[in-house]
Amino acid sequence: MSSHPEVSRALFDQVMVPNYAPSDVIPVSGKGARVWDQQGRDFIDFAGGIAVNCLGHSHPALVEALKTQGEKLWHVSNIWTNEPALRLAQKLVDATFAEKVFFANSGAEANEAALKLARRYAIDTYHQDKVDIIAFNQGFHGRTFFTVTAGGQKAYSDGFGPKPGAIHHVDYNDLDALAATINDNTCAVMIEPLQGEGGVIPPSHEFIKGVRELCDKHNALLIFDEVQTGVGRTGELFAYMGLGVEPDILTSAKALGGGFPIAAMLTSTAIAEHFKVGTHGSTYGGNPLACAVAEAAFDIVNTASVLDGVKQKSQIFQQKLEQLNQEFGIFKDIRGAGLLVGAELIDEMQGKARDILVASSDAGLMVLVAGANVLRFAPSLVITDEEIETGFERLSQAIAKVVNS
């Protein structure tokens, strides 16, 4: 075999584990909310790497941060600390409820840390039996065995043998079910402040407020998984800021590095001190290269102009989807927050979300799904009005193709 095989979609099937089924399109470059493939075809990106590329592709400030830090220091172990990690941690603390930060590489790792910390805190502070975790059906918290078990989708956690115990699930937005399940042995409730993978489902005001009150009543920690909703996605720096509810632990990843892998767990000093030296760790967590890029992304996102812009662009997205619905009549519900938007298909179109995703790709548009019946949009937070316009023209073509087939 040649030492330089042709890089094609066929090579994926040859050399990669088959747990993904990627598109035939292989992107090779991007600028803003546009991406080009191997053949030079251009795509509008309404997917954002699943809510990751918060400043689009090849943002000059992120490129500059990467180059500058890349010529200084790439990695040191956590036997030493480093300047980019400390600067980023300070900014996260200054901008949120938190007093302490733990860095990791992915949302799953941040959530794993949050769950471990919650249990350690409860056992240290109360008693050995205070270990129960409550999460929500259709929730998603990552793919480690602990986090995928906390996630409320059995399709992702079944078939791997015995699961971590003492994890219970109730329906999202069902406060009565939570009240019936939570008790003094509950150490934590883990929740997305807007369910992403589960269908882009926002919480009702009464529900999210009630979750906080029940946690307080039973001395359980409230963990907000803001892996998808954090870093400007909802038009707030973090979604909790728009809900009037403060968590005890918050996790962030995806958009935090603007495309560079990094995650963070944020909490208070009182809770953090239960992660004593040696109780938890991460080889790459707090990596200077990742933290330098994340700091540059954070400085841009955490501005009134970007956050207000997300709210304005959100309205444009909702209006454009309503217009498409007037034309095609295929959406049952259009919902979400900021630039995390879901459009649920009508009963007659059940299971067709992926067909629209494929047709969109053919038309030069990248979109997402959330389950079989919801189109999901998570574009760059600084996507231009022109890019939105072009994207919706292509989405219209894609929907027409699916409806008329």
| Residues 380, 129: Cα–Cα separation, whole Å | 44
Residue 206 has a CB neighbour count (10 Å cut-off) of 10
Catalytic machinery residues = 140, 225, 254
Residue 195 has a CB neighbour count (10 Å cut-off) of 25
Query: 283 a known binding residue?
Result: yes
Q: Is the dihedral of CA 16, 364, 371, 335 positive or negative?
A: positive
Question: Quick check: 342 and 376 in contact, CB under 8 A?
Answer: yes
Element (H, E) at 129: none
Element (H, E) at 31: strand 27-31
Residue 305 has a CB neighbour count (10 Å cut-off) of 8
Token pair listed for 323: 């217009």
Q: Which residue has the tokens 């995650």?
A: 263
Residue 341 has a CB neighbour count (10 Å cut-off) of 23
Query: 155 a known binding residue?
Result: no
Query: 331 a known binding residue?
Result: no
Q: Which residue has the tokens 């963070």?
A: 264
- CA distances to 107, 115, 300 from 144, rounded to whole Å, are 10, 12, 31
Question: Quick check: 293 and 261 in contact, CB under 8 A?
Answer: no
Question: Quick check: 188 and 119 in contact, CB under 8 A?
Answer: yes
| Residues 77, 385: Cα–Cα separation, whole Å | 43
Give the single-character DSSP code of 345: E
Contacts of 291 (CB under 8 A, 6+ apart): 82, 84, 85, 87, 88, 103, 262
Query: 226 a known binding residue?
Result: yes
Query: 225 a known binding residue?
Result: yes
Query: 282 a known binding residue?
Result: yes
| Residues 377, 366: Cα–Cα separation, whole Å | 9
* Residue stretches of the annotated binding site for pyridoxal 5'-phosphate: 107-108, 140, 225-228, 283
Binding residues: 107-108, 140, 143, 225-228, 282-283
